[in-house]
Amino acid sequence: MTSQTASVPSPDQISRAPKVLLHDHLDGGLRPGTIIDIARDTGYEGLPETEADKLGVWFREAADSGSLERYLETFAHTCAVMQTRDALFRVAAECAEDLAEDGVVYAEVRYAPEQHLERGLTLEEVVEAVNEGFREGERRARANGHRIRVGALLTAMRHAARALEIAELANSYRDSGVVGFDIAGAEAGFPPTRHLDAFEYLKRENNHFTIHAGEAFGLPSIWQALQWCGADRLGHGVRIIDDIEVAEDGSVKLGRLASYVRDKRIPLEMCPTSNLQTGAATSYEDHPIGLLRKLHFRATVNTDNRLMSGTSMSQEFEHLTKAFGYTLEDMLWFTVNAMKSAFIPFDERLAMINDVIKPGYAELKSEWLFQQTATTSGSAKAGN
Ligand SMILES: O=c1[nH]cnc2c1ncn2[C@H]1C[C@H](O)[C@@H](CO)O1
Ligand SMILES: [Zn+2]
């Protein structure tokens, strides 16, 4: 018998393995039933379906367009039902519960406060409602036998002009549940340098930020995010593959930007299913994460939008184990990469790695030792 370390983990093991999620949108992860409940309670009449199952399918299909712009249109419905304190609290609590149920032990969940002001909430009220929801979700998870810690990332929309204000908001809540900042939205035509003032402010404050870059647009976007804006991490960053040449004989040549990303250990928040839907990748088997993992880039695995992609962290890992034959060792590698790249303090990241993640994988890796198979009992008898 060979050890489980060297074989592809079962779906049950993937689900029980401790996972770390750095790129997940709060407004992209609602339960369909919750959308319907809140729409009814708040009088929102724009939903395309009123049955939970059908609504879930509608989101997945509508997001499956091959274009980031079309994909983003689906968020009009989720944001429409996230406009009151109670709704934000509920959605955040359920998000933490759902992630914990899926074996996520640490998550950074992002949303754009400026998109939740339509019914009179202030930016601060939005942040506080979400923070309280996350704390409630952590409590519920604990009551169900799970452990999870959730930090918020505040996103500014790249087509809008509120990035500095949102960066200041992130800074003022940095010791109260908010761990960093991000920009998101349509990439083509909205370079990250539009928001340079926000990034420069955060750098002066010694704060952390990630930038969606290299998803729908190529290397110039990644280059600006890193070299002009100073991003700590890249949201997606999948187009870094355009700066890597693989020759017929399998030898690999990295361009200057790809070398920089690898050498500086810039974390790539990769979201395979989302990339297939927006056209940033063509299949799981051809997804750049396979090569980037082999080349030891600091790649991480993420969900992006669980509702629009009909996915979870476990499902993302299932797709990757099928496509690339990943083992528990590979899963551990991605998970440690993610935890190293989180925006919480170093001592807490280290404790998560040493006291939660590594023991969790060690336990899974040892399971094969205790499996009772017909072969072992049979051969013992035969030997007597
Ligand atoms: O993958 C994405 N790329 C760019 N923007 C995105 C992506 N997923 C979600 N967003 C946008 C839509 C949401 O309303 C916003 C804040 O979470 O972020
Ligand atoms: Zn995203």
If you take atom 14 of ligand 1, which residue's CA is the nearest one? 75
pLDDT of the residue at 377: 53
> What DSSP assignment string belongs to 179-211?
EEEEEES--TT--GGGGHHHHHHHHHTT--BEE
Contact status, residue 272 vs residue 289, Cβ threshold 8 Å: yes
pTM (predicted TM-score): 0.96
Determine the distance separating the centroid of ligand 2 and the alpha carbon of 302, expressed in angstroms.
9
Per annotation, catalytic residue among 215, 269, 316, 318: 215
CA of 287 to the centre of ligand 1 (A): 20
State whether CATH 3.20.20.140 applies to domain 11-379.
Answer: yes
User: Minimum-distance ligand to the CA of 153?
Assistant: 1
Ligand 1 closest atom vs CA 68: 3
Residue 236's Cβ-count burial label (10 Å; 0-12, 13-18, 19+) is buried
Q: What is the pLDDT of residue 70?
A: 85
Residue 130 to residue 21: CA distance in whole angstroms: 18
Q: Which of 71, 75, 277, 302 to mutate to test the pocket of ligand 1 (most atoms within 8 A of CB)?
A: 75
Q: How far apart are CA 169 and CA 177, in angstroms?
A: 12
215 is catalytic: yes
> Is 25 assigned a ligand-binding role in the annotation?
yes
* Ligand 1 pocket list (CB less than 6 A): 25, 27-28, 68, 72, 75, 79, 110-112, 115, 155, 184-185, 212, 215, 274, 304-305
pLDDT for 2: 53
Mean pLDDT by 10 residues, the chain (384 residues): 71 98 98 98 96 97 88 95 98 99 99 98 98 98 98 97 98 97 92 96 98 92 97 98 96 98 98 94 97 98 98 98 98 98 98 98 94 59 43
CA of 185 to the centre of ligand 1 (A): 5
Contact (CB, 8 A) for 293 and 336: no
Ligand in closest contact with the CA of 221: 1
Polymer length in residues for the chain: 384
C-alpha 157 to ligand 1 mean position (Å): 8
At residue 371, the 3 state secondary structure works out as coil
Pairing between strand 244-246 and 252-254?
Answer: antiparallel
The pLDDT value recorded for residue 272 is 98
Written as one string, the DSSP assignment of 113-155 is GGGS-TTS--HHHHHHHHHHHHHHHHHHHHHTT---EEEEEEE
Q: For ligand 2, an ion, list residues with CB under 5 A.
A: 304
CA atoms of 328 and 364, how far apart (whole Å):
8
Mutate which of 88, 115, 162, 305 for ligand 1? The one with the most ligand atoms within 8 Å of its CB, which is 305
User: What is the rounded CA–CA span in Å between residue 152 and residue 107?
Assistant: 8
Q: Which atom of ligand 1 is nearest to the CA of 216?
A: 3
Q: How far is the CA of 28 from the centre of ligand 2 (A)?
A: 9
Q: Is 37 annotated as a binding residue?
A: no
